[in-house]
Amino acid sequence: MVAFSKIAAAATLVTLASAQTFQRLGACPDLGCVFPPDQADFLAGQYFDIRVEVHAPVNGSEANGGIPDKRFSLAIQKKGGASQPVSKFFDITEPAIEEWKFKWYEDYFAEDAKTPSHVNVAAKAYRRVALYEPGEYTATLSYYNGSKTVANWVVRDLAEEKKAKNVILFIGDDAFDDPKVETIVELLTRIWGSAIGIVSTAFLADATPIALTGHTRTRGHYGPLVDQMLNGVTNYTWTPFDGPDVVFGSGAENFNPGEGSYQGKDYVEEFRKKGYKVAMDNTTLATLPSKERALGLFSTSNLPVRRDRDRQQEARHGPPRLKDMVLKAVDILHERGGDRGFFMMAEAASIDKQMHSLDDDRALGDLLELVDTVAATIARLTELNILNNTLVLVTADLGHGFDVYADTKYMASIDDNDVRGKRAAIGTYQNSGLSQYQVVDAAVSYNTGVNFPVNWEPRYCLAQGTVAFPDRRENFEVNAGPVVPAAKGADKSYY
């Protein structure tokens, strides 16, 4: 059963022409779910939430009567120590049981037949706990008279010495009650009081910039996430956060008053009320004072890519380049961070966005802009005499490589002439789940050992390449403008 929360589960009801829904994810290897899942890593003292769920399918291949076991228990054990009930281990009050229902389709055969599987759920959520001692921990959920789901966690120690005062991270690229983990920004402000900067060429409520301050399982709640960026988590006791020192990017539709902002508020004004100076173009960006907190909001949606922005740059009042934003952010963060240092995440977001559209030229342009920005940043750090105290990291936030294909059995059942039908069996990343190379099949045995698949030909296998490669005609010319990744056809499907 997919590891669904109340809200994530409801999303499966709107399947339309979406791809295969997979049966298992790491947090729910069986009818018991543990969040954070197996193989999670934490820093010592980092706050996080725990949610455990017990699923009771009413029908479908895993039907067990539909009555969830409400007598489930969760125990925590540090390696070498005694196993204790979770409430005793963390010295917290046992929370009340939560109950809800959801339905989903096990595969496309079920969806075609309009026969969803209905599931009843019993769950508990343990809020704002922390593991302070480094080491290996095991969380064991016991349910249904002997069934167990085990999650192994690793807690890593914080460095005793703060070797870098500043950190710059360059990246190429009710939904609020779910379990969460303290973000790096929240840790830094709580422990060190560091100044914080968020810079992106994407709209500021997009996944990467908002992940530094946001807590939700539904990334599309842009308005509420902007509120979290400014005010922190307000619906539960959590690490206090009063907003970053620098926020530069776009996505004005989530800040201007109206349907795109939280409760219709004017969030530019909300930022101003908290003392932020506001820039709307490259000229006002350059004039921002270094001692004040700053919001730079330079367009709706994403910023124009480098190739298109260069053509507009003759107008000084146009949007800034990534380098312009990063260098101004460094100046402000250096001034405001002082001895406490600073952390900045700077994202060249449209490298990935243009790759989705197969616009290699624009993707390359923004990649080159990232390289140029990193070089200019190192030069500015040298000028400020803080290069030796600053850790500069450059990475990508995702890759376009190996994905999980959907249902090979369903694909084989579709007529060879029905190309669209066959393509429907292949999902995008939001529908992906675990492959089945390590799922034991009693009829298959290779005796190849633990480092190899137990089944080389599972129903859900790996895609040896990029799944999201759409139909297209290619003339290999540079496009005059950005390409739309997909267009809706007459039958309301996307091409």
pLDDT reported for residue 23 = 61
Q: Identify the three-state secondary structure at position 488.
A: strand
Assigned token pair, 406: 């959907």
Q: What is the pLDDT of residues 12-36, one digit of tens each?
A: 333 333 445 556 677 888 999 999 9
The CATH number linked to 237 is: 3.40.720.10
Instruction: Give me the residue label for tokens 């056809």.
Output: 489
Q: Are 139 and 39 in contact (CB under 8 A)?
A: no
pLDDT in tens, 234-293: 888 888 999 999 999 999 999 999 999 989 999 999 999 999 999 999 999 999 999 999
For residue 482, being part of any structural domain is answered with no
Q: Which two tokens stand for residue 312?
A: 């507009």
Q: Which residue has the higher pLDDT, 114 or 4?
A: 114
Examine residue 206 and state whether it is found in any structural domain, yes or no: yes
Sequence-ordered alpha helix ranges (H) in 239-357: 267-273, 282-286, 306-312, 322-337, 350-356
Do 144 and 221 lie in one domain? The reply is no
Query: 337 and 379 share a domain?
Result: yes
pLDDT digits 0-9 by tens, 359-377:
777 887 888 889 899 999 9
Residues 58 and 133 in one domain: yes
Average pLDDT of the residues of the chain: 83
pLDDT tier at 309, thresholds 50, 70, 90 = confident
- Select from 115, 94, 97 the least CA-distant residue to 106: 115
Residue 348 and residue 212 in contact, taking contact as beta carbons nearer than 8 Å: no
Residues 55, 76: Cα–Cα separation, whole Å: 21
Is residue 229 left, alpha or beta, with left meaning phi > 0 and alpha meaning psi from -120 to 50? Answer: alpha
- Is 1 among the domain residues? no
Contact in structure between 454 and 441 (CB atoms under 8 Å): yes
Assess contact for 106 and 61: CB atoms under 8 A. yes
Return d(Cα 289, Cα 306) in angstroms, integer.
26
Would the pLDDT of 10 be above 50? no
DSSP-derived 3-state class of residue 132: coil
Q: 148 with 192, same domain? A: no
Q: 5 falls in which pLDDT band (50, 70, 90)?
A: very low
Whichever domain contains 124, its CATH number is 2.60.40.10
Considering the domain architecture, whether residues 87 and 139 belong to the same structural domain is answered as: yes
Q: Which residue range is the domain that position 93 belongs to?
A: 6-156
Q: Does residue 407 belong to any structural domain of this protein?
A: no
Does the pLDDT at position 451 exceed 80? Answer: no
Say yes or no: 50 and 147 in one domain.
yes
Please tell me the predicted confidence (pLDDT) of residue 322. Answer: 95
The pLDDT, as a whole number, for residue 15 is 36
Distance in angstroms (rounded) separating the CA atoms of residues 199 and 187: 19
Does residue 235 belong to any structural domain of this protein?
Answer: yes
- Predicted local confidence at residue 428, as pLDDT: 63
Q: Is residue 475 part of a domain?
A: no
> Which residues lie below 8 Å from residue 111, measured CB to CB, with a gap of 6+?
15, 105
Do 84 and 221 share a domain, yes or no? no
Above pLDDT 90, what percent of the chain? Answer: 52
**Residues 216 and 254 grouped into a single domain:** yes
Instruction: Judge if 204 and 325 occupy the same domain.
Output: yes
- 202 and 329 fall within a common domain: yes
Please give the average per-residue pLDDT across 437-459, as a whole number: 70
Mean per-residue pLDDT, 447-466? 64
pLDDT at 354 (0 to 100): 85
Bridging pattern class, strands 98-104 and 117-129: antiparallel
The Cα angle at residue 12 between residues 9 and 13, in degrees rounded to 5: 105
CA dihedral 24, 30, 35, 36 (to 10 degrees): -70
| Segments of 26-146 assigned E as strands | 32-35, 40-43, 48-57, 73-78, 84-85, 98-104, 117-129, 135-143
Within-domain flag for 275? yes
Same domain, 310 and 259: yes
Selection from 194, 201, 195, 216 nearest residue 171 by Cα: 201
Residues 361/307, Cβ–Cβ less than 8 Å:
yes
Q: Kindly indicate the confidence band of residue 210, based on its pLDDT and cuts at 50, 70 and 90.
A: very high
Answer yes or no: is pLDDT of 203 > 60: yes
Instruction: Tell the residue number behind the tokens 């921990």, with chain if given.
Output: 137
Whether cis (ω within 30° of 0) applies to the bond prior to 36 is: yes
Rounded CA separation 495/488 (Å): 6
Distance from C-alpha of 2 to C-alpha of 14, rounded to nearest angstrom: 15
- Domain-ending residue, one of 136, 156, 176: 156
Considering the domain architecture, whether residues 235 and 265 belong to the same structural domain is answered as yes
Domain boundary among the residues 122, 156, 190 is at: 156
Answer yes or no: is 487 within a domain: no
What is the CB-side half-sphere exposure of residue 244 using CA atoms within 13 A? 30
Beta pairing partners, 120: 56, 101
| pLDDT, position 489 | 74
181 DSSP β-pair partners:
48
Q: How many domains does the chain have?
A: 3
Q: pLDDT tens, 390-429? A: 999 998 877 654 444 556 777 778 888 887 777 666 666 6
- How far apart are the C-alpha atoms of 289 and 286, rounded to whole Å? 9
